[in-house]
Amino acid sequence: MRFALIVRGNCSFQDKIVNTQTAGFRAVIVYDDRDREKVDLEYMIVDPKDITIPAVFVSNETGQSLKEHTQVGTGECCIYETRVEKSRTVLVIFFISIIVISGILVLILHVPRRLLYWRGRTHHVKHVDDKIVAELPSFAFNSAQSSDKYTREVCAICLEDYKDGEILKSLPCPH
């Protein structure tokens, strides 16, 4: 699309647009000739019935930037629209990749350790051979006669009271 880049100058905004339209351009960008924060908006009042092309007024800085991007000698300017959608897509893909990589690392590092722990707990259950349990000294509990060696009336493991006549096994430790 052919458009004209014009410095503000002394003629009116309306005249610039009409002259650009007459010259066959399809749009016009008018940039301010001075650096200033406030622009006199009365300058940009136009009668829309004579105008059929789009027109825009930009700052001096924007106009100078557009002027710098024109190709020397040809007067052509290449303006590419920024793709915000594309940058968002790249950002989303990046974060999803980070999450997936983190998940894989957790699986690689954590799951084998859990499996080893689980196998260790299930395959190496410590138990005492029945022959050893049978060889432990046993006696019948009597609350009236408590020996010096067995003065407790409660099981140290399950915390239940012993009953008279109950057969107890004496462990090598004082339990």
Amino acid 155: pLDDT = 66
Amino acid 80: pLDDT = 58
Amino acid 159: pLDDT = 59
pTM of the entire predicted model = 0.42
Contact assessment for residue 66 and residue 29, using Cβ atoms and an 8 Å cutoff:
yes
Q: Can you give the residue ranges of every domain in the chain?
A: 3-68, 129-175
Give residue for tokens 């905004």: 13
CATH numeric code, 3-68: 3.50.30.30
Amino acid 98: pLDDT = 96
Query: What does the alpha-carbon distance between residue 30 and residue 59 come to, in Å, rounded to a whole number?
Result: 9
Amino acid 174: pLDDT = 63
The segments of the chain whose pLDDT lies below 50 read none
Amino acid 82: pLDDT = 55
Contact assessment for residue 46 and residue 36, using Cβ atoms and an 8 Å cutoff:
no
CB atoms within 10 A of CB 162: 16
